[in-house]
Chain A
């Protein structure tokens, strides 16, 4: 068949099962846009800013496990995507990005809106392409999806000159993938798996440290069965949250910089760490030389370059978490460690990181806890970056996989609104709450207009402390409370802003208004913004300062005997 480049792209996307694309047009990508009416099955969501398109594609991918797609025009359109691409890259999110480029003849001439986007995105994509012939498009798009979604997933960018979209060419019925240099290891090495089983047999104080990889490979059942069979308590990394139900008796929460004290202590005291699909990030290990020095370590990880990068391990197993856990499950002994499990229960009591201090003030922790109860731990929570993100990770009790969605590695403020938009598009029947910082919200709030236009009913809870809160906390802890450039003394009136966007706006200033506002938001058919005006100088505890260990942990000073709220 003869097809234009634009038609080839649309048909290739449909062949990949793509149902929605987030984007914004411009000259270089216009020929692609003008073919869209021929493909009504391909839903296009017109964003307000290309960063929103990239974050939305990323949110869609995280919520569904299917690749997200965003596109933009050349030059500034493409560069506006960069934060979103970097965010996806740091967290290994499968997205495919298409950018328009100036015409082939103009490349290299500093033409209007020419930017070397493949050069710019080289270090923040898993791979990228500049396609100089329409005939290459079917294979390139197929390869892009293959690379994005297999092995350790990640973003792939395809840059297409304007005249390549217009070029007509003969195309074959099925594309071919020819990637001789790319063969991710899936199945784990049998001998290493046997060694891992032996270590589990010998361990007295074992811990499973589960990361994002468990979610990518959807190894939830294998993880849970293994944990129960061997009675190994499960700790999840920030991005691992929701891979293991947090109401399970073996769930010990999140460790690290703002993790629960008992989780960090349990790692420190363990004699075996079974790390699955995680990369020993500095927010977890603090000081690589002093992290979990008493334990043997098994590391299950699909990316060989993550093994031995930050922490040296005893038993490395390269491959897919689901395959390896299933194989390990067969060899692992049925065991109990009553003393160890009881010890962790005692740690939870002596270090009650999740107790909220009694006060009349409106605390962010209280709001998250109420939200968790009101949604029965079954909403999908999307966050920005900062204090509210950490409180969401700590105080919401996640029950279902893929229900905690956050920018971990990049820490991109502004993820909360467009990220949640993509999540809701991917999961139209689920309740999606965006827990936003007043700072991050204002970075990308323009996408609320996109939500209204496209009937995307995200509920947004702004944890409004009139500060860039997390930075203010660092200034309090490490710079003698010198609050330089962290106060927002003139935030907009978020309720009026909601009205301006045509969505429901609510303001909450007292504890007793929290529940009813959440209820009202959930009953409302459409996007909602709740402005939770919270205690401004509240801190996230515990905190292990950067580069330190659990021994340097700062826990919340508690005057009174703490009591959990009900």
Chain B
């Protein structure tokens, strides 16, 4: 049966909660579940394991971290990704560092879920792509699924992982539908997917940029431009080998991300390609990102700010000289 992104999340949560009685869900409005991801969990698992929190991100994110240290497996929802800013100490100073600082004593099996990205007129404080803010904090794993099937498999792996993992769900992918493999569908963290094989250029696309890049690749295929689309799926750990192998084959690289141009995931991956695949490159590694501005509210401004299909196409054309 075709499954949406949101249903995929719901299935993953339900299956993992069934599997491990020490998992539980907490966050704002998870009982009623406005976006639908946690809908019905209260009926299956009851109020001990499905908990509405006060609007108190620093407090409840930190409480989830403490609960993980004390032997449970929290799944903590932070509604919009920008609200992580309210809880940075607990994520970056506490969850990320305590295992290392305790010489490996602490186990931190905690999964954070949040909605990121521009979804049309939500303005700067509800549209940001914030995973780059965590890229330079060692100790946290970052997952950015681009389709329902990966969403489910990655979220299940994230929940079983013994480290803090943040799963970023793009707000505009919610309605996408596809068949999901039956059974205990797991996608390992750290394994990129070749979403489309091609010869002329490697495009590393992240999250919501994957379906957009695939549409551009379809279009360019009609002009015999063969685009290979790699979806890293997790930014930490990063499947460098898959990206580098593709670039060695195509000799050209474009990185597409909805984050910003400076200091973003695209900058990070472009630097890795530039450093490790330099000898294979026929041209500069190009980045297609959102402009370095807060996401504006008005639709024409929002459109101008964001990475989009026209910009992706232009960058690919520049890379292949077509």
Partners in one complex: no
A residues with CB within 8 A of B: none
B residues with CB within 8 A of A: none
